[in-house]
Amino acid sequence: MNGNLTRILVIGDHSEESIRRFRALPNCSLVIAENVRDVPQEELRETEIFVGLPYPELVRQMPRLRFVQLYSAGANTYSWLPKEVVLANAYGAYGESIAEHLLTATLMAMKRMPEYLHMQDRQDWALLDDIVRFSGCKVLSVGMGAIGTAYLRKASALGAECYGVRRTLHDRPDFVRELVTSEGMDALLPEMDVVALSLPGTKDVEGLFDERRLRLMKKNAILLNVGRGNSVVTEDLLRVMKDGWLKAACLDVMDPEPLPKGHPLWTAPRVWITPHISGGYRAGVNYESVIDTVIRNLTLVLQGQAPVHVVDRELGY
């Protein structure tokens, strides 16, 4: 085998079209396997580029490794990778689909649809009050990456007044009325009808929404979380929901996760749970977007150029 070829290992269950695209990459020796256990040790030793979800024991078997490409947008759990290994994520590949999930959850909670569905199960006929219109409401996205930005763009198109929170202030989109850092968030919370979290699972956002911040929100506000469960203090959320605070909490992520049977979140009033399904490959278009990102980065690296969406190991994204 030509020693000048870059050795790439791709792990995952891929479509025939994706495999064709991987095999069309130039100047490389490619191995594709559904499971890393199927890859011979000698192949691991020669791997320079790894596509998939690495773990320490695996990386120790790849002494020539210099670049890791994730399928996920989340990257905060990979700080252990050697500093000489460049890490890139699939930033942006899931934004539109997760934003649609947020929009669905918002409208569902505003129109009290879960409660009507429960009424149907009981064959009850009753009219619920406190039905909210999207148009004219105030929506805050805590996190202004691909997900939060796409959600506010859609919310604005439906007539909402949009606000955003990001780590540093730059590039305020036209559809966002005001952009603040986390230091300015508390002043906005009492005015917001909807607060949507799309934060990474990093230490600096752990417990960001504790009881104090949850009670800063309007009593009839809606909380959404599609980022990581650790940004909301579960015990505090349970307490405020049982006290009748917040119109609804729509959680696609939670702490702990997976949520065990018997956990009080399952039966907490006005808490609507989905099992971390807003992103991932469940929507075929998500898979295609991820593969587009992966192929683009592999092409750049093979051409000797810098990849996009390189993860800052200290920030975790």
- CA 286 – CA 112 distance, rounded (Å): 29
Assess contact for 200 and 228: CB atoms under 8 A.
yes
List of long-range contacts for 166-171, beta carbons under 8 Å, 24+ apart: none
| Structure token pair of residue 265 | 């979140």
Active site residue 276: yes
Active site residue 170: no
DSSP string, 170-215: ----TT-SEEE-GGGHHHHGGG-SEEEE-----GGGTT-B-HHHHH
Rounded to 10 deg, the angle between the 95-110 and 113-122 helix axes is 60
| Structure token pair of residue 24 | 């069309």
Out of 21, 257, 263, 296, which one is annotated catalytic? 257
Out of 276, 288, 296, 313, which one is annotated catalytic? 276
Stated as kind and residue range, the H or E segment containing 235 is helix 234-242
Q: Which residue has the tokens 């919310």?
A: 155
Active site residue 239: no
Out of 112, 228, 270, 309, which one is annotated catalytic? 228
Catalytic residue ranges: 228, 257, 276
